[in-house]
Amino acid sequence: MGNTQSRRLLSGNEAVAHAALAAHIDLGIGYPGTPSTEILENFSDLGGNARWSPNEKVALEVAVGVAYAKGRAMATMKHVGLNVAADPLFTAAYTGVQGALVVIVADDPGMASSQNEQDSRRYAIAAGIPMLEPSDSQEAFDLLFDAVKLSERWQIPVLYRLSTRICHSKTVVELGGSLERKNEIHFDRDIRSRVMVPAYARPAHKRLRQKLKEIQAWAETSDLVRISKNGQDLGVISSGISAAHAKEAAPHASQLHLKITFPLPLEKMRDFCHSVDRCMVVEEGDPVVEEGCLIAGIPVEKKSEVYRFGELDVGRVKSMLSGEPSKEKSGPPGKPPQLCPGCPHRTAFSILHDQECIVTGDIGCYTLGVMQPFEAIDTCVCMGASIGVGLGLRHVLPDEQARKVVSVIGDSTFVHSGLTGLVEMVYNRPKTGHLVMILDNSTTAMTGLQEHPATGRTLDHQATHKLNLEDVTRAIGIDKVAVLDPHKDKKLFEETVISFLQSEELCVIIARRPCLLAAKKIKVYEAQVQCPNDETKGN
């Protein structure tokens, strides 16, 4: 795109994709989640082997398998996706890997498009997994090589933390270099390393702690710590996007830029702190590095609690460094997003509104059913929670209210983590029954129209087995399953909702109509599937 071959203007996500290709990543796998989604899409466009999984846990497990076979694997997800993948993450730290495993996690401080602003650096500490953090697209490219090398050298998974402003900001990148494969892909049996029964897991935990000790010692002298000595009045320790803000906010301060945030190179940080009159850690989210310093007896100044909330920018960093009470003020609110005009979800929400239902919601475009004029979502917690939360309400509410509870969940979210909710529904049946509405718009719309197992197409839109939602729902043992187009016959849709709610049975309505934004593209993909060898036809 108008860039020279090697010098380009790239988003952080694009830069990671280029690096993954140059680092010979054998498989990139994940689940879409803003702001991480475009990494795998770009990796695929560049010719990399990229896949969407049903959810982040499965994606990480597949990536672990690749790395057990001495391959190079990259798993991508947003911060809350790492909660889903946390189970394999913690134990993969014990087993270690024989190839490379880089787990890319994109945080969303300020919650541009997320339900919380949790700080993934806590996971690095909790699981005992090294964490690297780029501060712009150039580093997003360069540092991925370091992550792969670190993973292969210490046979340990590596967390690669991005944030919204790293993922989506475009900065100039000089592309270059590659990382040739070291290992031949092969499975070598090593039961004691990989089978985490207690007898083998106890020594594995000790091995992990030994690796972390070695990595910490290595980090002290590695080029993952950059010190720019400047004035002596103020020293700033920072990482990620905060480093970019800090260099602009305090051009005369001395700067220690961390590209590794776990384990921390504490001795280098201690020397730096003692070389200046006052020292502060500039960081977005929780005061993780600040706490690390204070626990180690490094006398950094404590930040105000207000910086735990939201994103930083140059202005906020200036206030933070001044040590004066910050003058936090928010501007006038912008226009909130809405369900698109003509969106098929609109019909469902207007009916739920009219029926005065108690609606447990989920994560996706349809969460916007909370906005006016519908105001037809009463809860939203995490992926898949609509069903469990709805069942909990059904179990304890007085019958009259319980009969009004409806769970709504999107098609991609249902495959991600709604299936086990349905199993719970048939296993612990509420006495008033329950109604789950799968809002099937045939795509993962909110994150930008990604494929999923029930679209029947892989990440690059090629045909694969299509998970049939009505079949799986019936097979689980739901009493009544209806598949309806809410747009085509609103009356029938409304009557079905009412009769299902009155039936006191376990019911699922699949409200199926493709997202308006996706419909055209879906037609093109389907046409390609029907005549895959177009070039052999005609003439």
Partner 1 sequence: MDQVYNIVFAGLGGQGVIKASDILAEAAFLSGFDVKKAEVHGMSQRGGSVTSDVRLGQIVMSPMVPPQGADILVVLEPSQTETASPRLKPEGLVLNCSVIDAKSLPNAKTLNVAMLGLLSNYLPILDAEWHQAIRNSLPENLHDMNFRAFSIGKNTHL
Any contact of residue 333 with partner 1 (CB under 8 A)? yes
Q: Which of 15, 365, 419, 469 binds partner 1 (CB under 8 A)?
A: 365
* Lookup: tokens for 499: 């009769």
* 171 forms part of the interface with partner 1 (CB under 8 A): yes
Is residue 168 part of the contact set for partner 1 (CB under 8 A)? yes
Structure tokens belonging to residue 42: 């770009």
Residue 441 makes contact with partner 1 by CB under 8 A: no
Q: Which stretch binds partner 1 (CB under 8 A): 69-77, 166-174, 403-411, 489-497?
A: 166-174
Binder of partner 1 out of 28, 35, 128, 134 (CB under 8 A): 35
Tokens in use for 156? 């340990």
**CA–CA distance, 69 with 100 (Å, rounded to integer):** 10
Residue 450 makes contact with partner 1 by CB under 8 A: no
- Decide: is 49 part of the binding site for partner 1 (CB under 8 A): no
CA–CA distance, 403 with 335 (Å, rounded to integer): 35
Q: How many residues does the chain have?
A: 539
| Pairwise CA distance, residues 1 & 11, whole Å | 13
DSSP symbols for 123-179: HHHHHT--EE--SSHHHHHHHHHHHHHHHHHHT--EEEEEEHHHHH-EEEEE-----
What is d(CA 499, CA 227) in angstroms, rounded to the nearest whole number?
68
Does residue 315 touch partner 1 according to CB under 8 A? yes
The minimum distance between CB 123 and partner 1, in angstroms, equals 22
Contacts of 154 by beta carbon, 8 Å cutoff, 6+ apart? 96, 130, 211, 214, 215
The Cα–Cα gap between 178 and 418 comes to: 41
**How many residues interact with partner 1 (rule CB under 8 A)?**
41
| 11 Cβ contact partners less than 8 Å away, ≥ 6 residues apart | 38, 137, 167, 168, 169, 170
Q: How many CB atoms lie within 10 A of CB 222?
A: 15
Question: Which pair of structure tokens corresponds to residue 124?
Answer: 């690095």
Choosing from 337, 373, 477, 532, the residue that interacts with partner 1 (CB under 8 A) is: 337
**Shortest Å, Cβ 246 to partner 1:** 9
* Sign (positive or negative) of CA dihedral 512, 513, 519, 523: positive
Q: Strand 405-410 to strand 50-52: parallel, antiparallel, or no bridges (unpaired)?
A: unpaired
Cα gap 257→238, rounded to integer Å: 5
| Element spanning 262, H or E | strand 260-262
Binding of partner 1 by 165 (CB under 8 A): yes
- Give me the least distance between CB of 239 and partner 1, in Å please: 14
Q: How far is the CB of 477 from partner 1 (least distance, A)?
A: 36
Token pair, residue 6, equals 């090697």
Q: Find the shortest distance in angstroms from Cβ 112 to partner 1.
A: 4
**Which residue number, 86 or 371, has a Cβ lying nearer to partner 1?**
371
Minimum distance of partner 1 from residue 437's CB (angstroms):
20
- Which of 5, 6, 62 has the alpha carbon at shortest distance from 29? 62
Binding mask 483-502 for partner 1 (x = CB under 8 A): --------------------
CB under 8 A: which stretch of 167-175, 285-293, 298-306, 344-352 binds partner 1? Answer: 167-175
The binder of partner 1 chosen from 447, 450, 455, 473 (CB under 8 A): 447
315 or 532, CB closer to partner 1? 315
Choice between 56 and 108, CB closer to partner 1: 108
Instruction: Tell which one of 251, 299, 477, 532 touches partner 1 (CB under 8 A).
Output: 251
Among 103, 368, 501, 511, contact with partner 1 (rule: CB under 8 A):
368
Q: Is 112 in the site for partner 1 (CB under 8 A)?
A: yes
Options 43-51, 209-217, 243-251, 384-392: segment touching partner 1 (CB under 8 A): 243-251
> In the bound complex, what is the minimum distance in angstroms from residue 393's beta carbon to partner 1?
27
Binding residue (CB under 8 A) for partner 1 from 57, 70, 161, 245: 245
The strand order across the sheet containing 27-30 reads 50-52, 27-30, 72-78, 100-107, 158-163, 131-132, 260-262
Asked if residue 446 binds partner 1 (CB under 8 A), the reply is: yes
> Residue 332 interacts with partner 1 (CB under 8 A)?
yes
Tell me the window of 126-134, 198-206, 299-307, 334-342 that interacts with partner 1 (CB under 8 A). Answer: 334-342
> Which residue in 22, 227, 339, 516 binds partner 1 (CB under 8 A)?
339
Distance between CA atoms of 346 and 513, rounded to whole angstroms?
Answer: 11
Q: State the Cα–Cα distance between residues 235 and 261, nearest whole angstrom.
A: 17
The single residue among 221, 322, 338, 499 that binds partner 1, judged by CB under 8 A, is 338
Q: What is each CA distance from 341 to 162, 345, 521, in whole angstroms?
A: 33, 10, 18
Site residues for partner 1 per CB under 8 A: 1-3, 9, 34-35, 112-113, 136, 164-165, 168-172, 241, 244-245, 247-248, 251, 313-316, 331-340, 365, 368, 446-448
